[in-house]
Amino acid sequence: MRFVIIGAGRVGLRTARVLAEEGHEVTLVERDATTADRAREEGFEVIEGDGSKEDILETAGIEDADALGALSGDLNVNFAACLMGKHHGCRTIMRIDEDYRENIYRKYAEEVDDIVYPERLGAIGAKNALLGGSIRAIADVAQHLQVVELTVTDESPMRGYSITELELPADARVLAFGKHDGPMRIPLPDDSLEIGDRVAVLADFEVLEDVRQILVGQTPIGGR
């Protein structure tokens, strides 16, 4: 696929790298000369200029891009770029700078297909690192709903039982299962929970601790 990314800073450039690694075509738009040069040194095509200007976006190939990532630190630029990206039929992704704005853009900005708030992803990563190995947040689905990956330990009360025997509180659901040495996959009723196996669960924040105790064991988070 073809992508245009506005902003070659810490978010835009990293996104461009990941896309390029997967074989996609990426053009970056960056208004700061030094930042643009740095991205060029990595082999990226960089258009130097203001991502809120139509001629710049056209030079970057907006007409035949599949999606536009407005990932600069400037909200006004990001929104203007999405506006034009939508006009040219792109899927549009906009980076925001403060989380309260997510609801506003989701509700009012029809020109923006999806919102990225990098700090939230950073916080999930930091939380995972702090919590250690046995529980890992995968995604915040909604304000009170989270997908977590839990690893069965030798203290797990459900160790040795099967997925069907697993009873989780408050409609928490098992979404995926992976043996300790295998990839995550659709859970089968007969899968048995052994040490090191991983279970991805969708659960309300309020019952997350109960889910953790059932699958991981009694060890308090962080240890004592």
Partner 1 sequence: MTMVTAYVMIKASTGEADRLLESIADIDGVVDAHIVAGDVDVIAKVEVDEPAAVKGIAADGVQNVRGVENTQTYIAMD
Binds partner 1 (CB under 8 A): choice among 107, 129, 186, 223:
107
Under rule CB under 8 A, residue 79 binds partner 1: yes
Under rule CB under 8 A, residue 101 binds partner 1: yes
Only segment of 20-28, 41-49, 96-104, 175-183 that touches partner 1 (CB under 8 A): 96-104
Under rule CB under 8 A, residue 69 binds partner 1: no
Under rule CB under 8 A, residue 75 binds partner 1: yes
Angle between helices 33-41 and 10-21 (to 10 degrees): 20
Nearest CB to partner 1, comparing residues 90 and 94? 94
What is the smallest separation between the CB atom of 103 and partner 1, expressed in angstroms?
3
CB-CB contact of 70 with 79 (8 Å): yes
Buried b (16+ CB within 10 A) or exposed e, 188-218: eeebbbeeebbbbbbbbeebbeebbbbbbbe
Residue at 159: amino acid letter = R
The backbone torsions φ and ψ at residue 50, rounded to the nearest 5 degrees and listed phi first, read -85, 115
Under rule CB under 8 A, residue 76 binds partner 1: yes
CB atoms inside a 10 Å sphere around CB 20 = 15
Under rule CB under 8 A, residue 108 binds partner 1: yes
Binds partner 1 (CB under 8 A): choice among 7, 105, 136, 152:
105
Tokens of 166: 């697993």
Residues that bind partner 1 (CB under 8 A): 74-76, 79, 97-98, 100-105, 107-109
